[in-house]
């Protein structure tokens, strides 16, 4: 007699979500968008900032539940924008992703947050 077995895979809720997008205003004239996506056991975190000035350097710190998983330094393009992508290992439960970006010229700050 053959026995059939069924294996159920418990995937994190985030594995069933294509992407989550959050956005907001920075401390000056800039705006931010944070996109979080599932990427084979990791969370792809894409931070984009739109500013009114080209050629300015921004530094960023990426955190997942308070633990740093990435840093970046980007210079705004001719259109005043920049973006940086970092990958966080998936942690148990909800992942609270935060990105703090600072314009090294003006001191403007963008604080982005999203949960995945």
> In sequence order, what DSSP letters do the residues of 45-76 get, joined into one string?
EEEEEE-S-SS-EEEEEEEETTEEEEEEEEE-
What's the CATH number where 104 sits?
2.60.40.10
Nearest-Å Rg of the Cα atoms of the chain is 18
The total of structural domains in the chain comes to 1
Question: Domain range for residue 110?
Answer: 13-115
In a domain, 5, yes or no: no
In the 8-state DSSP scheme, what is residue 107? -
In a domain, 89, yes or no: yes
| Pairwise CA distance, residues 97 & 103, whole Å | 20
Q: What is the pLDDT of residues 29-74, one digit of tens each?
A: 999 999 999 988 899 999 999 999 999 999 999 999 999 999 999 9
19 confidence band (pLDDT: 50, 70, 90): confident
Which tokens in the block code for residue 99? 């990105």
Proportion of the chain above pLDDT 90, given as a percent: 77
Residue with tokens 């942690």: 91
């Amino acid at each position: 007699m053959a026995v059939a077995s069924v294996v159920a895979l418990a995937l994190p809720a985030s594995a069933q979500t294509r992407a989550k997008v959050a956005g907001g205003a920075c401390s000056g004239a800039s705006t931010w968008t944070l996109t979080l996506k599932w990427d084979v056991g990791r969370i792809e975190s894409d931070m984009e900032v739109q500013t009114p000035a080209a050629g300015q350097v921004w530094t960023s710190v990426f955190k997942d539940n308070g633990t740093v998983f990435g840093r970046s330094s980007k210079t705004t393009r001719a259109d005043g924008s920049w973006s940086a992508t970092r990958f966080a290992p998936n942690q148990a439960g909800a992942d609270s992703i935060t990105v703090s970006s600072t314009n090294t010229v003006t001191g403007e700050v963008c604080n982005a947050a999203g949960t995945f």
